[in-house]
Structure 1
């Protein structure tokens, strides 16, 4: 008898999944453990595994369709075996999470107006001479002696025609203008050496920039984007956020990290600042365990283990892989676990148990040069730590002003669970651990 494979529930918030593509086709032999298809959930893109041996005898859902959790996807049985589509097997075509009205037709672009013609020099009086040509950078071509005589006579030569080579103004031109001011074209002409911005039209002075930045378009939300939008809106509007900020002396941390990476390079050790922050967060949760909690609606649930997650930016969203029992792991173990988790997160290959169940979250934008920011709490957590980049600046140490390196941490707290004093105590614990990084190595 054929085995029907249904759309599994691959995350705690998943209700439908999009069948991205089939990795097998009807008639292919299948073994238990083979990957049959790629399925996009609200959290990641995952591979659908077969738990049966046999032949893929029927596909009920085409690639690109949205399938409800529990609806049939395919059947695995014996070659030639007939199977009918079970009830409810008709999939929906992938569609946006909500209908988006088509944008109104854009108004016709205004008819371009021809730029005004560039000013033309008035014809110079006899004797006929070549109009003075501005040199590069808007300077007027004039001999040093002619320039000196013009300055002595308070003469503006911008409109004066030069008779020297290539229209250069020479001594004779200036003396003639002193004797006959009518040779000057205008009284309001810019002074000698004035910027070309004052003497030439903008028509050819700047690069032409035409066309839109991008096409006007409406893109349907993916399952992930729609879920992120829904959850973050709920988090920001239903969780009473407040924020605490602290500055950390990052020099000890950076020094220890550099020593460890250099001394253990042969063993493949390459610790990041974020590895230390994850470890410090876990240790701070040990020191201040009441932050490791969640609001249930009727009370506070406290967690016995520190499952620390970290935000990873991926295409069309973000995801938070989890370091489980981080309070029991060394910074080296955390680093060794975080790197492959981050890699699989970017590839959308995380398993459900690798991105669910976190009790505290770290979001680090320091690698992008952000000095500080405030993050939105990731429900059901009661807090999230935002980490900024290290900044080199003057600091006071032992009563003297020296050049130091600092890092700003911002803690977003759920006021239903964490009060100000408790949040400050927790943030101070992280600061203490990062400024004494040897404590993170035991």
Structure 2
């Protein structure tokens, strides 16, 4: 596909003055777990490990990206299980991610520094699944799949962060339950889950599948992680399998109260430097940008952002640009980073097709911003409320226009004043 060069579209929209900006820091009160690894060990004692025979194999399901010190948590879990006389094996629990291939899922784990050498245990990345049952969800018959590697073990334990989901809102969202039903379901399980969830709702689908998996597989439970505003571990708790659906809602509420968000809901233009799967399952955290773009799931009421400009992808997302469709405009540099095979594997499995759509592609930053500001209608640099962030996870420091600064000045600290400049069409902030 060929996109227009700057001189082919520059004449369509006249240049316009830009707002003045300030770089601000944002640091709301939060808590950090003081001794993460000691907590991992003590919490494992809450799981029914005494029910296992010496030498029992324990499948440890992991795979969500962007979790603070996940490699340390996994390694400590493996070591602790071995010291208790068990034989752990790590099983990627990430649905269709990594292009729905064993090699791709190993690649994702390696990017998280979860390798056999690092954790001291084998990794079984087979995509094979077994059908455990069929469940009725609101009149829809849904097959229940689980990783064959997990089923071959004597026990299954999952490790995941509990947080607001990027597609829906409910009493159970991202966490241990979803990792069991979607992550360990591999591609077939993830596809079956999403097909029913889109029609009948995510929460009832999760609850029905968790119950079936618990009946058919030796699930111990899992380690639930809650992160704070700075994406550090604020809380870690072991939840036995029998208590998963009862305990996760409380942890979800805690996660929602402490998650990274912007200090203002009403924004005209949000510029995002990078999106990626390690930032959010949707590339950009939909709870930060206020967009789910999922069939039968209304967008959040807040925040309200009129336009989003996505400038590029992270290196760690390895071309998976799922989420670029949440933006209203992007640039050629971002499109050149896309691996459509990985992006489509993710979007087609989840059924969340809008996230893989390609928005209008500008040649560079200068024209992208010219297009975006014009699209706001009645643009005035003195009143435009613009926020410019690195990504939707790192929100401790970012740029805001003067009009937006006036609204949030009591919540942030101004670090410096800045003006927007361009070097061969690429945006840069110059301190003034």
TM-score relative to the length of structure 2: 0.22
Q: Which is richer in helix?
A: 2
Which structure has the larger Rg over C-alpha atoms? 1
